[in-house]
Amino acid sequence: MPFFLDTSALFKRYQVENGTDKICELIEHSREDVYISSLSVIEIVSNLKRLYEIDHLTTEQKFVQQRLFFYNDVEQFGITILDVTSDDIMKAEELILKRYMKPVDAIQVAVALNNFSTKPTFVSSDNKLCAIARQEGLPIFNPEA
């Protein structure tokens, strides 16, 4: 069963947090394919830039290294980036009409629901998002649990 990582889970690979070890293990050693949305690409870069430029928790050099580390992972471990399509946007709207959720979260769940013949394991460290994905029939893995 493939893995679909949302940004909250993927970010743990580049900034040490609770669950980092599990995400590193999944990316480095999974026998299953790993997927992310194109939205996650920009969210990862934005979050890393925030750590440097806004929060002053890292340096510019560290930001550059973390960003390169991310792109290296995509290439080295064959992480597939799924483009967000108009079908995904429509599915995200459908999800929001069922229950309130942040637009970016709705898009992540929609991409996971729309792009696989076998439901992927939805990987997220956001408990609310995990609950919604589970309600939509996706198997869940929370690296913080």
pLDDT at position 141: 98
pLDDT band at 26 (very low <50, low <70, confident <90, very high): very high
Six-digit token pair at 93? 């709207």
Q: Give SS3 for 145.
A: coil
- On average, the pLDDT of the chain sits at 97
Q: What is the value of pTM for the model shown? A: 0.95
| pLDDT tens figures, 42-89 | 999 999 999 999 999 999 999 999 999 999 999 999 999 999 999 999
Domains and CATH numbers, the chain: 3-141 (3.40.50.1010)
What are the backbone dihedrals phi and psi of residue 122, each rounded to the nearest 5 degrees, phi first? -85, 120
